Structure 1
Amino acid sequence: MTRIRIQKYVAATAVAVALVGAPTVSYAASQGKAAHGTLQRVAAEKAPSARIVAPGEHVKVPGGAEIWLTEEGKHWTTPDHPEPQFRSVVDGNIDRGMPGVSLQTEGVAGHYFLSGLYYGGKGTASRVEVQTKDGVVQGKLLELSGKPGWGVWYATAEVPTTGDDGGLDYFGSVTVHDTKGKIYARLKLN
């Protein structure tokens, strides 16, 4: 093959890769005019929201934990603690009229099982982020149907291999965002 043929193949391959790698760009050419790129507007994605669960419906969490909600609060088990644990939303320990987030951490098979309540924020809870010394961990939200004024979040995070004693100083904050990206509720730990 000559050098010119190789250059043509390389150029054609580069154009094909560029077209495949840029799905949000369309190319159009009218007769007699040069082609140009136009950016297509992608319809805004609907913001995620909490998964709606039935009272008592068990949700399995990676690592072996399970969570379920009742009108009284959050219930959970882990492989190391198979007896159900409970966090009430009706015993007066939280004020559902004020934004708040709680955090429970447990070591489960080389991971942290993180969970807690969120409550009292304005808007619709959409997503949760846990800031750790190693970065941000994304969690998931659960709620009962209707508008209970509270929900449960959960996530799993790797246990750091060095430099941490496993205490709460590893965690910086827990932030629940609403569907508009604003803060629904936040817990700052450090």
Structure 2
Amino acid sequence: MNDLRTTAAATGPEHAETERLRQALAEAAYSITPSPPPLAAVERWGRRIRRRRRAAVLGAGCGLLLVPLAVVVLRGTEPGAARATSPAAPASVSPSPSASSTAPAPTPRVVAPGEHVTAAPGFELWLTAEGKHWTTPSSPEPQFRGVVDGNIDRNTPGVSVQGESEDGRGYLSGLYYGGKGTASSVEVETADGTVRGKLIELPGNPGWGVWYAIADLTSGEDPFHLDTRVTVHDTEGGVYARSGPR
């Protein structure tokens, strides 16, 4: 106290008041006992911060890993991309159906009136409502066989035969008519074997048509040998019309 008075006397009343406040504050501070620091709480808080940081780092790492996977998946879904899947079981392949034995039978070629059909060079045929017209290499002038002049009976099945030979080949043709059903094919029996020919008709199912064939005459026999026979079959495999021995 003497010091305060001495200091107050030396420095003035204001300075002495300041010193008294300082000493009072110092004494109050010395009388306060500080509480122990909350070390456990600080440690828990620090651990929480570290866990959050690790979780954030792991989340970022997983996100980086998922990006390539997502790219792979997206690429796999693009058109034409190879799929990483297990191979599928091979699909069963049905054998291609073979030609059916019940395929429709052939029918005559339908030609327009006056339409020329070339069977071989110089051997041409054409049909009109009056009958059959044709030429052969040895007879280039048109020949004619009528169907409306009374020479044939179209109500009775029959086959006519006309033909010429030249250079070892026979040019054979004729009319067929009067059969039941639909004509399909023709066979010509010659001294050199059986020859298959073709059929032509006018449109509208006229009830008659023309057959023609070319025969190689290796034996030198006349194509109109007595053994020559022409058979026109129908679409059911039966006989539509047949010529008798000549």
TM-score, normalised with respect to structure 2: 0.57
The residue type paired with residue 135 of structure 2 is T
Which residue of 1 is the match for residue 177 of structure 2?
119
Q: Quick check: 1:53 aligned with 2:111?
A: yes
Contact 1:67–1:74 (Cα < 8 Å) also in 2 = yes
Instruction: Give the drift of 1:108.
Output: 3.4
Cα shift readout 1:153-188 (whole Å, capped 9, x = no counterpart): 0000012345x3x26226431000000010000112
SS in structure 2 opposite 1:84? strand
Q: Does 1:180 align with 2:240?
A: no
Aligned mates of 2:111, 2:226 — CA distance in 1: 31
- Given that 1:168 and 1:189 are in contact with CA atoms closer than 8 Å, whether structure 2 keeps it comes out as no
Larger Rg: 2
Contact 2:192–2:217 (8 Å) recurs in 1: no
Residue 196 (structure 2) pairs with residue 138 (structure 1): yes
The question of whether the paired residues in 1 share the 8 Å contact of 2:157 and 2:176 is answered with yes
Contact residue 50 and residue 141 of structure 1 kept, 8 A: yes
Counterpart position of 2:134: 76
Residue matched to 1:62: 120
Larger relative contact order (C-alpha < 8 A, sep ≥ 6)? Answer: 1
**Contact persistence 2:191–2:223 (CA under 8 A):** no
Structure 2 portions without partners, runs of 5+: 1-94
Q: What residue in structure 2 maps to residue 169 of structure 1?
A: 225
**Gap regions ≥5 residues in structure 1:** 1-37
The SS at the match of 1:117 is strand
Give the match for residue 19 of structure 1: none
Percent of aligned pairs with the same amino acid: 59
- 2:217 aligned partner: 159
SS of 2:225's partner is helix
* Equivalent residues of 2:108, 2:183 under 8 A apart: yes
| Counterpart contact for 1:99–1:185, Cα < 8 Å | yes
How far apart in 2 are the matches of 1:79 and 1:62? 9
Q: Which amino acid aligns with 2:131?
A: G
User: 1: distance between equivalents of 2:197 and 2:174?
Assistant: 11
Q: Structure 1 residues 110 and 54 mapped into 2: Cα distance closer, same or farther (>3 Å)?
A: same
Answer whether contact 2:168 2:217 (CA < 8 A) is retained: yes
Query: How far is the alpha carbon of 1:103 from its aligned partner?
Result: 0.3
TM-score by length of 1: 0.74
**Equivalent residue number for residue 24 of structure 1:** none
